[in-house]
C-alpha cells in the first residue's frame, strides 16, 4: 500500500496533517496486511471444501452452506480493499478508537480491526447525535475514490481542539455528497446513513413494520440496508426460508441490484410482483376491471374453483375381483378424499387420495379373505378401469392456467367462485380469450399454481417414481442372482439378502430431482418497496409466501397512483397485518428549488400529503422551455457535465427514442418510481392526466431530480 491512504486535494490541505491522519494510516496498514492473509485463507478453505466429497444429507447441506458463506466473504474482499472501512468513532470515557467496516475483521490475536456495520457495537457510528452522543467523543466518515481517501469529515460530540477544528465540516461535506452525480446504479451510501434511517434499519423484525416517507427520504436505502441487517442479526429469517425483496419494476431492480452484494449479502432474492409467475404480459385491464380484480382474494377464488373438482362420489360402485365382488361405498370415497393435508396441492393430493382408497379397499379384502396377499390385492384393484374412471371424473388432474383463465370466460363460474361480485361486475370482467392475460390476472395465476400444482412437476415425479420402482426390481434380481450363486460355507450372501443390499445398490442421486420454484417461498421475511400501489390481490400473493407475517413495508401514500385514502393500519389490518409505523420526514435527495414546485402539484390532488423537507439547495431554479428545445438543451448539458444521468419523462417514450444515448434515458411517468437522475426533463407534464393519477405522476416525476428540473411544453415558456 502507499505510504498514506489519503489523497486529499490541495483545497483540503488543512486536513492533510499528521496530527489528523497518521493514526488512520497506521491502522490501515494493519488492515491491509490482514486482508491479504484473509484472502489467502478463505481461498484455501474454499479450495479444500470444493475438493472434498459432496457427501449426503445434513453433511452435504453444511458443506454447501460453508461454500456459499466463504464465497460471499471472498467476493466482498475482492470487491473492496481498504475502502472496506467506512469510518471510525472514538469513545469519550476510554478514548478507544473503533473502526467500522462492511464486514468484521480481526488480527492474528483476535483483536478487532474492523467491526461489522451491523454489529451492536457499531450502532453509535450511525445513530449518535449531538442530543444523544451514545458515549462518543468524535466520529469520522471517509470518502473513497479508486482505493484512496479523497475526503473525510469529523463530528465532535464534545468540545474540539484547535487542530481538530479543520476537519469539523461534517454537515457541509455530507450535504455536498448528496448532490454527487448519479449513475445507472444506486450510489454506495452506507457511510452516510443518518440516525433516523439507522433506527429503522435496526428495528426488530418481530412484527410487521411500515416505513412511511416522501420522495428523497431514503426509503429505498433503508429497505436495502435493513435486508442486509436482518439477515445478519436474525438467524431465524435464514432458517425460515430467507428474505425476499420486492421492487416496483425491472428498472428499479437493475438500479439497486448491486447494493446488497456491496453490503456482503448475495442471498437475498430480488423480484417484482410480475416475476412471481412465469407467464408474462404487458396488457392492463381497464380501470374498473383492475379495481374489481384487485379487491378479490385470489386464494379464496381459486380454492372455490378447484373444490368443484374435488367432490367425493355419492353412489356406490361394485367392482369384480378374484376374491369376489367388492363394493366401494360413498363413505370409502369420503374417507379417501379427506385423507390429505390441506397444504398439499390438488394434483399431488390426487395420488394421496388414490393411495388411501387402495389402502381402504385392500384392508376390506384382506379382512374378508385371510389368504389374500395385500400387495397382490392392491395391484389388482389399482388396475380396475371403472374405479380409475370414477377418480378421474371426481378428482381430475388440472392445469392451473385453465382454471385461472376459465373464471374470466364463464360468467356462471365466476359468479360461483367470487360471490362478492355483482352480476354487473361479473359481466364487466368477462373476455373471449381465456389466456389473454393481463397484469391483474397475475395474482390469480399464482394462486392457481400454488393450489393446483404444475402438471409437468407431477409427470416428472411419477416418472421418477417409476424409475425408482424399476431400479428396485432390478436390484431385487441382482440380489436373487447373488444368493443363488453363493456356494460359500457360511452363505454370506444370504446374510445380505433383502433391503440391506438392495439399499446399498440403489442410487437415488442418479435420478432427476424436481427443480424448486425459487420464488415460491416460504420466506422468513419480505421487504416490499413502493408498497402504496399494491392491491389486496397482490398482497395475498406475498402473504402466501410469508407464514410468519414478517414484513417491512416501505411506501408513500402521496405516491399512490390510484389514491390512498386510508391510514396504513386501516389499509393492512383487514389483510391480517397489524403494523407498527415509522416516518421519514427529511428529503436528502431533492433540492429545495424542485420541492417548492412539486409540493403544490401534489397538494392539489392530495391536500394532506406528507411532503418532506429538503435539506439542501442546488442553486438552480426550475426552468420551462418549449419542446423543440429539448434536444439542444440535453446536448449542452452533456457537454458541460462529464458525469451524471439525464432522464426525459414523457407519456410517449417511443416518440423520443432518438435522443437516447449513453447517459440519456427516456421513460414513462409510471416507470420512474424509486429511481433518481441528475437532470430531469418533463415533456408536457399536463398531458400526464387529470385527477389523482395525473397529479401523482407529475409529483413523482418531478422529484426524481437530484440537481435540475426542466419542464417542456409546446407553448412558449412563461
Burial of 625 (0-12, 13-18, 19+ CB in 10 A): middle
User: 151-165, 413-427, 560-574 — which is least confidently predicted?
Assistant: 151-165
Q: Is residue 301 part of a domain?
A: no
Whether the bond between 522 and the residue before it is cis, its omega within 30 degrees of 0, is: yes
Is residue 600 domain-shared with residue 688, that is, in the same domain?
Answer: yes
Least Cα distance to 126 among 238, 221, 42, 9 occurs for 221
DSSP assignment letter at 165: G
User: Residue 510: its pLDDT value, please?
Assistant: 46
- Average pLDDT over the chain, rounded to an integer: 87
Q: Is residue 442 part of a domain?
A: no
Q: Looking at the predicted structure, is the pLDDT value of residue 234 above 60?
A: yes
User: 9-18, 376-385, 453-462, 495-504 — which is least confidently predicted?
Assistant: 495-504
> Can you read off the three cell numbers belonging to residue 296?
378479490
Distance CA 8, CA 14 (A): 10
Q: Which residue is listed with cell 450510489?
A: 187
CATH label of the domain that carries residue 686: 3.40.50.300
Q: Is residue 173 part of a domain?
A: no
What residue numbers bound the domain in which 135 lies?
10-158
Nearest 5°: phi and psi at 325?
-65, 140
Are 103 and 76 contacting, i.e. CB atoms less than 8 angstroms apart? yes
The string of pLDDT tens digits covering residues 357-416 is 999 999 999 999 988 999 999 999 999 999 999 999 999 999 999 999 999 999 999 999
In the structure, what pLDDT confidence band is assigned to residue 513 with cuts at 50, 70 and 90?
Answer: very low
Structural domain ending residue among the three candidates 560, 587, 614: 587
Q: Which residue is listed with cell 412437476?
A: 457
Residue of 542 and 480 predicted with greater confidence: 542
Q: Is residue 419 part of a domain?
A: no
The string of pLDDT tens digits covering residues 441-491 is 999 999 999 999 986 765 555 555 555 555 656 666 665 666 666 666 555
Residue of 496 and 476 predicted with greater confidence: 476
In the structure, what pLDDT confidence band is assigned to residue 509 with cuts at 50, 70 and 90?
Answer: very low
Is residue 52 domain-shared with residue 93, that is, in the same domain?
Answer: yes
Any binding-site annotation on 220? yes
Q: Looking at the predicted structure, is the pLDDT value of residue 502 above 70?
A: no
The reported pTM is 0.83
Total domain count for the chain?
4
Q: Is residue 489 part of a domain?
A: no
Is residue 144 domain-shared with residue 96, that is, in the same domain?
Answer: yes
Are 318 and 325 contacting, i.e. CB atoms less than 8 angstroms apart? yes
Is residue 24 domain-shared with residue 149, that is, in the same domain?
Answer: yes
Are 527 and 550 contacting, i.e. CB atoms less than 8 angstroms apart? no
Any binding-site annotation on 218? yes
Structural domain ending residue among the three candidates 557, 587, 617: 587
Distance CA 137, CA 158 (A): 6
In the structure, what pLDDT confidence band is assigned to residue 623 with cuts at 50, 70 and 90?
Answer: very high
Distance CA 637, CA 679 (A): 9
Structural domain ending residue among the three candidates 158, 173, 190: 158
Using CA atoms, how far residue 369 sits from 328, 357, 365, in Å, is 17, 18, 6
Is residue 24 domain-shared with residue 130, that is, in the same domain?
Answer: yes
Is residue 534 domain-shared with residue 668, that is, in the same domain?
Answer: no
Q: Which residues contact 358 (CB under 8 A, 6 or more apart)?
A: 378, 381, 382
Output the CA angle 56-58-61, nearest 5 degrees.
85
Are 526 and 545 contacting, i.e. CB atoms less than 8 angstroms apart? yes
Nearest 5°: phi and psi at 144?
-105, 145
Strands (E), 255-316: 269-271
Is residue 250 domain-shared with residue 374, that is, in the same domain?
Answer: no
Q: Is residue 289 part of a domain?
A: no
- Element holding 528 (H helix, E strand): strand 525-528
Is residue 269 domain-shared with residue 350, that is, in the same domain?
Answer: no
Q: Which residues contact 71 (CB under 8 A, 6 or more apart)?
A: 46
Q: Is residue 217 part of a domain?
A: yes
Q: Looking at the predicted structure, is the pLDDT value of residue 22 above 80?
A: yes
Question: CA 344: distance to chain centroid?
Answer: 25
In the structure, what pLDDT confidence band is assigned to residue 435 with cuts at 50, 70 and 90?
Answer: very high
Q: What residues form DSSP beta bridges with 661?
A: 664
Distance CA 136, CA 660 (A): 49
Are 141 and 172 contacting, i.e. CB atoms less than 8 angstroms apart? no
Q: Looking at the predicted structure, is the pLDDT value of residue 501 above 80?
A: no
Is residue 133 domain-shared with residue 211, that is, in the same domain?
Answer: no
Is residue 644 domain-shared with residue 709, that is, in the same domain?
Answer: yes
Using CA atoms, how far residue 470 sits from 475, 481, 644, in Å, is 9, 17, 64
**Pairing status of strand 136-145 against strand 148-156:** antiparallel
Any binding-site annotation on 217? yes
Using CA atoms, how far residue 27 sits from 87, 217, 558, in Å, is 12, 34, 47
Is residue 568 domain-shared with residue 605, that is, in the same domain?
Answer: no
Is residue 689 domain-shared with residue 618, that is, in the same domain?
Answer: yes
Q: Is residue 371 part of a domain?
A: yes
Q: What residues form DSSP beta bridges with 6?
A: 149
Burial of 617 (0-12, 13-18, 19+ CB in 10 A): middle
Q: Give the mean pLDDT of 426-453.
A: 95
Q: What percent of the chain has pLDDT over 90?
A: 64
Using CA atoms, how far residue 111 sits from 107, 138, 141, 348, in Å, is 5, 22, 22, 55
Amino acid at each position: 500500500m502507499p505510504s498514506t491512504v489519503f489523497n486529499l486535494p490541495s483545497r483540503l490541505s488543512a486536513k492533510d496533517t499528521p496530527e489528523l491522519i497518521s493514526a488512520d494510516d497506521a491502522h490501515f496498514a494493519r488492515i491491509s496486511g490482514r486482508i491479504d492473509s484473509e484472502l489467502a485463507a478463505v481461498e484455501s478453505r474454499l479450495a479444500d471444501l470444493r475438493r472434498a466429497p459432496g457427501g449426503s444429507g445434513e453433511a452435504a447441506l453444511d458443506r454447501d452452506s460453508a461454500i456459499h458463506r466463504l464465497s460471499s466473504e471472498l467476493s466482498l474482499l475482492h470487491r473492496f480493499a481498504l475502502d472496506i472501512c467506512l469510518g471510525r468513532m472514538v469513545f469519550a470515557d476510554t478514548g478507544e478508537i473503533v473502526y467500522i467496516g462492511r464486514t468484521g475483521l480481526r488480527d492474528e490475536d483476535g483483536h478487532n480491526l474492523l467491526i461489522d456495520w451491523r454489529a451492536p457495537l457499531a450502532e453509535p457510528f450511525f445513530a449518535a447525535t449531538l442530543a444523544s452522543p451514545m458515549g462518543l467523543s468524535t466520529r469520522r466518515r471517509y470518502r473513497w475514490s479508486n482505493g484512496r481517501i479523497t475526503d473525510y469529515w469529523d463530528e465532535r460530540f464534545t468540545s474540539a481542539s484547535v487542530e481538530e477544528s479543520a476537519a469539523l465540516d461534517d454537515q457541509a461535506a455530507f450535504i455536498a455528497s448528496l448532490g454527487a452525480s448519479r449513475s445507472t446504479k444506486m450510489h454506495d451510501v452506507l457511510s452516510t446513513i443518518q440516525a433516523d434511517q439507522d433506527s429503522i434499519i435496526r428495528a426488530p423484525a418481530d412484527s410487521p413494520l411500515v416505513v412511511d416517507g416522501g420522495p428523497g427520504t431514503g426509503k429505498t436505502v433503508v429497505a436495502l440496508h435493513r435486508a442486509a441487517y436482518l439477515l445478519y442479526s436474525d438467524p431465524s429469517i435464514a432458517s425460515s426460508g430467507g428474505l425476499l425483496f420486492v421492487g416496483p419494476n425491472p428498472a428499479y431492480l437493475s438500479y439497486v441490484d448491486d447494493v446488497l452484494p456491496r453490503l456482503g449479502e448475495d442471498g437475498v432474492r430480488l423480484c417484482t410482483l410480475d416475476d412471481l409467475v412465469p407467464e408474462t404480459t404487458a396488457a392492463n385491464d381497464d380501470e374498473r376491471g383492475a379495481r374489481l380484480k384487485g379487491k378479490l382474494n385470489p386464494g379464496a377464488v381459486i380454492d372455490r374453483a378447484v373444490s368443484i373438482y374435488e367432490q367425493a362420489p355419492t353412489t356406490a360402485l361394485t367392482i369384480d375381483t378374484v376374491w369376489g365382488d367388492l363394493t366401494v361405498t360413498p363413505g370409502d370415497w369420503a374417507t379417501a378424499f379427506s385423507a390429505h393435508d390441506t397444504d398439499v396441492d390438488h394434483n399431488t393430493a390426487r395420488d394421496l387420495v388414490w393411495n388411501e382408497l387402495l389402502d381402504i379397499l385392500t384392508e376390506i379384502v384382506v379382512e374378508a379373505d385371510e389368504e389374500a396377499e395385500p400387495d397382490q390385492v392392491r395391484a389388482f384393484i389399482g388396475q380396475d378401469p371403472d374405479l380409475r374412471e370414477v377418480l378421474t371424473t371426481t378428482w381430475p388432474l388440472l392445469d392451473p392456467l385453465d382454471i385461472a383463465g376459465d373464471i374470466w370466460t364463464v360468467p356462471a363460474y365466476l359468479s360461483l367462485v367470487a360471490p362478492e361480485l355483482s352480476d354487473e361486475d361479473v359481466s364487466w370482467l368477462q373476455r373471449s380469450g381465456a389466456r389473454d392475460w393481463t397484469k391483474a390476472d397475475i395474482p390469480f395465476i399464482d394462486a392457481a399454481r400454488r393450489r393446483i400444482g404444475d402438471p409437468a412437476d407431477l409427470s416428472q415425479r411419477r416418472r421418477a417414481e417409476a424409475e425408482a420402482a424399476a431400479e428396485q426390481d432390478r436390484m431385487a434380481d441382482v440380489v436373487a442372482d447373488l444368493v443363488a450363486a453363493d456356494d460359500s460355507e457360511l452363505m454370506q450372501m444370504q446374510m445380505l439378502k433383502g433391503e440391506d443390499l438392495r439399499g446399498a445398490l440403489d442410487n437415488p442421486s442418479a435420478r432427476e430431482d424436481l427443480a424448486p420454484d425459487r420464488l415460491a417461498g416460504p420466506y422468513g421475511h419480505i421487504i416490499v418497496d413502493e408498497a402504496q400501489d399494491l392491491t389486496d390481490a397482490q398482497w395475498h400473493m406475498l402473504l402466501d409466501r410469508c407464514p410468519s407475517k414478517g414484513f417491512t413495508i416501505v411506501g408513500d401514500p402521496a405516491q399512490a397512483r390510484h389514491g390512498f385514502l386510508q391510514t396504513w393500519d386501516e389499509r393492512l389490518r383487514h389483510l391480517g397485518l397489524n403494523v407498527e409505523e415509522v416516518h421519514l420526514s427529511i428529503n436528502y435527495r431533492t433540492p429545495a428549488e424542485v420541492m417548492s414546485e412539486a409540493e403544490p402539484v401534489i397538494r392539489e390532488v392530495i391536500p394532506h400529503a406528507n411532503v418532506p423537507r429538503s435539506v439542501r439547495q442546488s442553486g438552480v431554479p426550475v426552468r420551462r422551455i418549449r419542446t423543440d428545445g429539448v434536444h439542444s438543451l440535453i446536448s449542452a448539458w452533456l457537454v458541460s457535465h462529464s458525469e451524471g444521468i439525464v432522464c426525459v419523462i414523457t407519456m410517449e417514450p417511443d416518440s423520443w427514442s432518438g435522443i437516447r444515448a449513453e447517459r440519456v434515458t427516456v421513460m414513462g411517468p409510471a416507470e420512474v418510481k424509486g429511481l433518481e437522475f441528475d437532470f430531469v426533463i418533463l415533456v408536457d407534464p399536463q398531458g400526464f392526466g387529470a385527477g389523482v393519477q395525473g397529479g401523482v405522476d407529475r409529483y413523482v416525476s418531478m422529484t426524481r431530480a437530484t440537481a435540475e428540473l426542466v419542464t417542456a411544453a409546446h407553448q412558449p415558456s412563461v
